Amino acid sequence: MSAAAAIRARRATPARVGAHAGELSWRWLAAGAVTLAAALLAGLALGPAGIPPGALLDDLVGRLPLTDGHGSLSALDSAVLWELRAPRVALGALVGGTLALAGGAYQAVFRNPLADPYLLGAAAGAGLGATVAIVHVGVVPLPLAAFVGATAAVGGAYLLGRSVGDGRTTATLILAGVAMAAFLTAVQTLLLQQDTENVRAIYAWLLGRLSTSGWSDVLLVLPYAALSAGVVLAHRRLLDVMRVGDDEATSLGVRVGRVRFLVIGAATLGTAAAVAVSGLIGFVGIVVPHAVRLLAGSSYRVVLPLSMLFGAAFLVLADVIARTALSPAELPIGVVTACVGAPFFVVVLRTSRLAST
């Protein structure tokens, strides 16, 4: 195909997908931003410590530039708020946004509504890495081990899928991911069985938790989350084009293999960073993009950015439930997301089936 034809084809695509239906409306963007802001406030205000909302607002306002207030919080409450609660809320937003965006990206790349960020073995690889780090404490830091495990697993699945497939279908890639995940999970389970002393620590990690090591975790995830978001969002139009099928997209001038590689790579990097600090939090990556698709439209120019905003809000709120439902005890956040996510998923499935018939 000539370059001119490619440009023509690319120009033609918006009309094909539907210019109005495909664009992200300001109204939805504002709704996402407001929801996220409300979730962040709720995350800061609610928790087992019972910091009075008035004092909290005072303190918040006092920290704004150009104001001269000094907070009326005690040193202890201030430490709870700014060293424990705030980083946890920020981490929840980052992890939730990243996982939801990665889920949307995976669903786009694989044209499979059941795809989630863990499809190609990221969870199994991270789980193995984390287990090794917990069993051999002090050898490798847990976040690094989980990150390396996740990226290595997806990299391995990608190479494996390409080597056996002809590179034109995603089916071999998915199957390679399934095989990789099964193998790594088996190894991880074996390690777990042999080291009963650490069962609880490993189990806690597998269920997911928004870690309490303060701002350092936030700073750890931030660059990967930003890179991942940048790359995935930059490809949102091409992902829309690819919805029509690989062959058709290729004939429209999209370098399908390259887009797929970049988007999978970026989504995986974000996912790996997220699980490295928060463990395996399920359902965010699958529930949030589907909800957005139902409510705001199915174009990836809509689904991807909104998934990020609503995913961030969803996980922050899920964490509020995790730390207040049985306060002062803690619920694993993976349990909360699944408890909310599973029934919701059924609703999504029912609705989409009704809509398609």
Partner 1 sequence: MGSRSRTGVLLATAAALALSGSGCGDSSTGSSADGSEAADAAFPVTVRDATRRVTIERRPERIVSLSPSATETLFAVGAGDQVTAVDDESDHPRGVPTTDLSSYQPNVEAIAGHRPDLVVVPASVPRDVKGGLRRLGLAVLAEPAPDGLEDAYHQMRELGLATGHAAAGHRLAQRVRGEVERRIAAAPDGPSLDVFHELDPDLYSASSDTFIGRIYERLGLRNVADPAARRTGSPYPQLSSEAVVSANPDLVVLADTECCEQTPAKVARRPGWDEVSAVRNGAVVGIDDDVASRWGPRIPAFVTRVVDAMEVARESAGGRR
Q: Which is nearer to partner 1, 215 or 257 (CB)?
A: 215
**Does 139 interact with partner 1 (rule: CB under 8 A)?**
no
- Burial of 151 per CB tally in 10 Å (0-12, 13-18, 19+): buried
We find the least distance from the C-beta atom of residue 139 to partner 1, in angstroms, to be: 12
Q: Mask: binding to partner 1, 330-349, rule CB under 8 A, as x and -?
A: x-------------------
**Does 190 interact with partner 1 (rule: CB under 8 A)?**
no
* Cβ-based neighbours of 75, under 8 Å, separated by 6 or more: none
* Cβ-based neighbours of 70, under 8 Å, separated by 6 or more: 62
**Does 72 interact with partner 1 (rule: CB under 8 A)?**
no
* Helix, coil or strand: residue 269: helix
Separation of alpha carbons 55 and 71, rounded Å: 7
**Does 166 interact with partner 1 (rule: CB under 8 A)?**
no
We find the least distance from the C-beta atom of residue 48 to partner 1, in angstroms, to be: 4
CA-based nearest residue to 249, from 240, 233, 33? 240
Q: In the set 87, 149, 156, 305, which binds partner 1 (CB under 8 A)?
A: 87
**Amino acid letter at 341?**
G
**Does 212 interact with partner 1 (rule: CB under 8 A)?**
yes
Helix segments in 69-170, DSSP class H: 75-79, 86-110, 122-135, 142-164
- Residue 57: CB atoms within 10 A of its CB come to 15
**Does 23 interact with partner 1 (rule: CB under 8 A)?**
no
CA-based nearest residue to 102, from 227, 210, 14? 227
Vertex 339 angle, CA 84 and 197, to 5°: 65
Separation of alpha carbons 45 and 24, rounded Å: 31
Q: Which stretch binds partner 1 (CB under 8 A): 78-86, 123-131, 220-228, 335-343?
A: 78-86
Q: In the set 137, 164, 219, 295, which binds partner 1 (CB under 8 A)?
A: 137
We find the least distance from the C-beta atom of residue 201 to partner 1, in angstroms, to be: 6
We find the least distance from the C-beta atom of residue 231 to partner 1, in angstroms, to be: 31
Q: Which stretch binds partner 1 (CB under 8 A): 58-66, 116-124, 179-187, 327-335?
A: 327-335
We find the least distance from the C-beta atom of residue 275 to partner 1, in angstroms, to be: 17
Q: Which stretch binds partner 1 (CB under 8 A): 213-221, 237-245, 250-258, 265-273?
A: 213-221
Separation of alpha carbons 87 and 211, rounded Å: 9
We find the least distance from the C-beta atom of residue 181 to partner 1, in angstroms, to be: 25
Per-residue tokens: 139: 């050898």
**Does 5 interact with partner 1 (rule: CB under 8 A)?**
no
* Cβ-based neighbours of 69, under 8 Å, separated by 6 or more: 58, 61, 62
We find the least distance from the C-beta atom of residue 6 to partner 1, in angstroms, to be: 52
We find the least distance from the C-beta atom of residue 270 to partner 1, in angstroms, to be: 24
Q: Which is nearer to partner 1, 89 or 181 (CB)?
A: 89
Q: Half-sphere exposure of residue 243, counting CA atoms within 13 Å on the CB side?
A: 21
**Does 80 interact with partner 1 (rule: CB under 8 A)?**
yes
- What residues make contact with partner 1 under the rule CB under 8 A? 47-50, 75-77, 79-80, 83-85, 87-88, 137-138, 193, 196-201, 204, 209, 212-215, 323, 326-330
